[in-house]
Amino acid sequence: MSEHGNWAEWVYIGVVCALLVWVGAEAWNVERLVEHVPADAEVIKVTGQQWFWSFEHEDGTKEIGELHVEKGKAYKFEVTSKDVIHSFNIHDYVVLIDAVPGRINIVWFVPDEVGEHEIQCREYCGLLHYNMRAKLYVEEST
Amino acid sequence: MVLELQKPRPIWQIMFSTHHTDVGLLYLIMSLAFFFMGGVLALFIRIELFLPGPQIIADSMTFNRMFTVHGTTLIFLFILPFASAVGNYFVPIMVRYKDMAYPKLNAIAFWMLPPAGALVWLGFADFTWYAQPPYSVISAPAPAADMWIFGLKIIGISQVLGSINFIVTILKCKHPDLPLSKMPLMAWSFLSSSLIVIVAIPTFAAALLMLLTDRMGMSGFFDPNVGGDPIAYSHLFWFTFHPEVYVLVIPAIGMMYEIIPRFSRKPIFSHSSGVFAFIMLAMVSFASWAHHMYATGMSFTEKTVFMVGTLAAVPASAMHVFNFLATMWGGRIKFATPMMWSVGGIALFFAAGAGGVVNSAMPLDFITHDSYWVVGHFHLFVMGTIAFGSFGFAYYMFPYVTGRMYHEKLGQVHFVLSFVGAILVFFTQHILGLFGMPRRVYDYPPFPEWIAMNQIITMGAVLLAIGAAIWLGNFIYSMGRGKPADMEDPFKLGGKYYYPYQQKTPHHD
Amino acid sequence: MRSKIGLLVVFTIIFIIPTLNYAFAAGDEPGEYLDRRVVIWNLFFRMMVVAFTIGAVVSGTMVWLVWRFRESNPNAKPTKYEETGEW
């Protein structure tokens, strides 16, 4: 082919690889932090079905379409589904995990401000997927 | 090259021909027809989402069916057959053989596609191109779902047959004077993508059969009520369709390897690094499939493995970009329409790749998974890179196929409208995803940011549509009445190096 | 060649295997309270800073290439391959 050196390409590939290593290491570190559930987190059982969410607190209280939690407490969601695959998502708190029938998936968070947030389904689940929503109420701790 | 459209022939002579350029022409026409059909669906979807509340589509079921058929059509009935069209025209010429290795098999592989397309369109299934069980097993309405399954089955067989044909043509029918190391990079791209198809497709073929027997109630592979596992389907599906992404993108890169040196008036910067990158991509493509499934409850170890596998595909793609830019460096570039598409495609390829690296970072999945970010990301690949490369090559082939020139200015207008439209649509979709809008929704709550961004996206989609309409008009008009092309050098580049020109293959009918 | 392979093996044993072990073993010990919004979005914005920097370099290079080497540029001169017409 043509007469030219290859050093520029090697430098370029080196830079690309270094960047990729950086991305991988950073992502690995953050994932490690957010995956570890605190030991004292309170369990909330989340069940998705076509096309609504239901919740069960540790003390047995059940809620449908809305979820009340207290500020400053850690919550561990045990997410499952009764029919097809859904995806449990509180976008404002970056909480997301699939609700898979026959499996229990885990995700956790600590709400830190009083307020209302949207809960939605992010995995296509049929006719009313677009409207499979619920509300999260974060309340002052008692 | 044979001028199919200049030399009048009865239509059945083309339809029943097994000559590689005739089959290529059939592939070309069918794939472009499906491009416009799928594009119209996209336009409907975008208009529906212009405002919250129902607009022009009566109910969510129709909407769900539309985006399912939109995705299935554009991937399986536009992009793949378009690549086959280009391969049929050029691979035999590039390896200096009189035809494809198995001409009859070639025609059979093509003629499987129209019935498959008819099954997909007449069924109009609603379970997305992903057909995720248990939804597709227990909820998706028959017969649409079953028709989709059979349609995809046929497409898969056709693809395997076509790939075998390419591999045998390249490896066995190559002229003895032409070593593999000197074979043009576009032929290399078809060799590597065909090898991926052979390895990847059987898995999905098996998954489709299992899905079908599940739907008939004969088995319960994916139904948790009888002890199956829906996530198993995800693994089988993505084991085929992550590599399939590279099957789509590698021929498009091969087309750019054909156009960019030609219009830069320089040889390719490094042939060997292009070959190396193709082989790397073909191998690494199998190491990353489960990055689509971070949110299904995978363990930390699994996620780490697949993140590393995904990142490993990046250096090879980056080598292609380097090769393109280094080829343009020091050239005397003629910005005719094909070259504009290729350069635009490289720019968007970089953007899509950078988004892909960000996607592969595990924790960011909590933000982006199944949101409009993902829609923007993969459309940057399939539309911004693959379709841009393909459109450029369609313009490049046009004089060889028809013997006439397309209208150059209109071609450039098509490019500019599409480039601006693509940026408006797909970049905005990324941002919309960051604001949390889920994909595959018929309607959305009236949050002001969501409304504003959806409207920008719809306007970009209209630009894309106008560009495509101009393209269609340009090609149809120029086919019959365009200026006769100078077959020695249609693009006035001055080189004497044209595969099509060197082609002396007679018809064998 | 053989010494290179040997070096590679030694390197793998000393560095890569412990790194992999460490990387894959993470995730067993209980975590502490942290705000996942802050951690994840911070990661996102760090990556965006890098991505946009690289994007500026790449797209800047492309714009310059297109501007400098177009055939209508006053400085454009025929490439050496044009003499023979073979490229």
DSSP state of B137: I
Nearest residue on chain C to A75, judged by CA atoms? Answer: C33
First to last CA, chain A: 76
pLDDT reported for residue C11? 79
Bridge partners of A107, per DSSP, are: A77
Residues whose CB falls within 8 Å of the CB of residue B491, separated by 6 or more in sequence, listed in order: B262, B263, B334, B336, B338
For the residues B428-456, what does the mean pLDDT come to? 95
Q: What residues in A contact B222, CB-CB < 8 Å?
A: none
C36·A32 Cβ contact <8 A: no
Q: Which residues of C lie inside 8 Å of B (Cβ-Cβ)?
A: 23-24, 26-27, 36, 39-41, 43-44, 47-48, 51, 54-55, 58-59, 61-62, 65-66, 69-71, 76-79, 81-82, 85-87
Kindly compute the dihedral angle of the four CA atoms of residues B217, B218, B224, B229, in this order, to the nearest 10 degrees. -130
Report the C-alpha gap between B328 and C62 in whole angstroms.
9
Among B304, B467, B144, CA closest to A31: B304
Q: Could you tell me which chains touch chain B, where touching means 3 or more CB pairs under 8 A?
A: A, C
Classify B351 as helix, strand or coil.
Answer: helix
Please identify which residue in the block is written with the tokens 């239901």.
A54
Residue of C24, C36, C85 lying closest to B495 (CB–CB): C85
B369·A96 Cβ contact <8 A: yes
Report the C-alpha gap between B368 and B358 in whole angstroms.
10
Report the C-alpha gap between B487 and B345 in whole angstroms.
27
Residue of B132, B225, B267 lying closest to A2 (CB–CB): B267
Report the C-alpha gap between A97 and B66 in whole angstroms.
27
A83-108 burial by CB neighbour count: b if 16+ within 10 A, else e?
Answer: bbbbbbbbbbbbbbbbbbbebebebb
Residue of A22, A34, A74 lying closest to C39 (CB–CB): A34
Backbone phi and psi for residue A68, each to the nearest 5 degrees, phi listed first:
-105, 125
Among B159, B146, B228, CA closest to B194: B159
For the residues B301-317, what does the mean pLDDT come to? 92
pLDDT reported for residue C28? 61
Q: What residues in A contact B449, CB-CB < 8 Å?
A: none
Min Cα distance B20 → chain A (Å) is: 30
pLDDT reported for residue B494? 82
Size of interface B-C (CB pairs under 8 A): 94
DSSP state of B446: -
Q: What residues in A contact B138, CB-CB < 8 Å?
A: 83-84
pLDDT reported for residue A48? 94
- Environment class of residue B136 by beta-carbon count within 10 Å: exposed (0-12), middle (13-18) or buried (19+)? buried
Classify A89 as helix, strand or coil.
Answer: strand
From B151-160, B287-296, C60-69, C76-85, the region with the lowest mean pLDDT: C76-85
Chain mean position to CA B122: 22
First to last CA, chain C: 37
The interface predicted TM-score of the complex, written ipTM, equals: 0.93
Classify B404 as helix, strand or coil.
Answer: strand
Report the C-alpha gap between C37 and C43 in whole angstroms.
10
pLDDT reported for residue B118? 97
Task: Give me B412's structure tokens.
Answer: 């450039």
Q: What residues in C contact A94, CB-CB < 8 Å?
A: 36-37, 40-41
Bridge partners of B438, per DSSP, are: B371
Say yes or no to pLDDT of B374 above 50: yes
Say yes or no to pLDDT of B499 above 70: no
Residues whose CB falls within 8 Å of the CB of residue B403, separated by 6 or more in sequence, listed in order: B3, B5, B6, B484, B485, B487
pLDDT reported for residue B507? 45
Query: Is the dihedral angle over the CA atoms B491, B493, B496, B499 positive or is it negative?
Result: negative
Report the C-alpha gap between B189 and B389 in whole angstroms.
13
For the residues B246-275, what does the mean pLDDT come to? 94
Task: Give me B305's structure tokens.
Answer: 């493995």
For the residues B289-314, what does the mean pLDDT come to? 91
- Environment class of residue B90 by beta-carbon count within 10 Å: exposed (0-12), middle (13-18) or buried (19+)? buried
In which band, very low, low, confident or very high, does the pLDDT at B47 lie, cut at 50, 70 and 90?
very high
Element holding A47 (H helix, E strand): strand A42-49
Helices of type H across B95-184: 103-111, 113-123, 144-172
pLDDT reported for residue B6? 58
DSSP state of A91: G
Which of C71, C73, C77, C83 best tests the B interface by mutation, with the highest count of B CBs <10 A?
C71
Instruction: Choose from A8-12, B152-156, B492-496 the range with maximum mean pLDDT.
Output: B152-156
Q: Where are the beta strands (DSSP E) in B116-182?
A: none
Q: In chain A, what are the domain boundaries?
A: 1-36, 42-139
Min Cα distance C49 → chain A (Å) is: 12
Say yes or no to pLDDT of A102 above 50: yes
pLDDT reported for residue A73? 92
Min Cα distance C33 → chain A (Å) is: 6
Q: What residues in B contact C16, CB-CB < 8 Å?
A: none
Nearest residue on chain C to B259, judged by CA atoms? Answer: C87
Residues within 8 A of A (CB atoms), B 215-244 only: 224-225, 229-231
Say yes or no to pLDDT of A106 above 90: yes
For the residues C8-27, what does the mean pLDDT come to? 74
Residue of B138, B311, B319 lying closest to A13 (CB–CB): B319
What is the number of residues in chain B? 509
Instruction: Choose from A29-33, B109-113, B298-302, B329-333 the range with maximum mean pLDDT.
Output: B109-113
B272 vs C: CB within 8 A: no
In which band, very low, low, confident or very high, does the pLDDT at B5 lie, cut at 50, 70 and 90?
low
Say what angle helices B80-94 and B20-48 make with each other, to 10 degrees: 150
- Environment class of residue A13 by beta-carbon count within 10 Å: exposed (0-12), middle (13-18) or buried (19+)? middle
- Whether the CB-CB separation of B493 and B262 falls below 8 Å is answered with yes
Q: In chain C, what are the domain boundaries?
A: 41-75
pLDDT reported for residue B497? 61
Q: Could you tell me which chains touch chain A, where touching means 3 or more CB pairs under 8 A?
A: B, C
Q: What is the mean pLDDT of chain B?
A: 92
B328·C69 Cβ contact <8 A: yes
Q: In chain B, what are the domain boundaries?
A: 11-502
pLDDT reported for residue C77? 87
> What CATH code is assigned to B11-502?
1.20.210.10
Give per-residue pLDDT as tens, B176-205: 888 998 899 999 999 999 999 999 999 999
Q: What is the mean pLDDT of chain A?
A: 92
Give per-residue pLDDT as tens, B318-351: 999 999 999 999 999 999 999 999 999 999 999 9
Report the C-alpha gap between B315 and A16 in whole angstroms.
6
Residue of B269, B362, B369 lying closest to A122 (CB–CB): B369
Among B427, B301, B363, CA closest to C43: B363
Among B31, B36, B47, B28, CA closest to B70: B36
Classify B83 as helix, strand or coil.
Answer: helix
Pick one of 3.30.200.20, 2.50.20.10, 2.60.40.420, 3.30.70.990 as the CATH number of A42-139: 2.60.40.420
Give per-residue pLDDT as tens, B198-230: 999 999 999 999 999 999 999 999 988 888 999
Which of C35, C41, C43, C65 best tests the B interface by mutation, with the highest count of B CBs <10 A?
C65
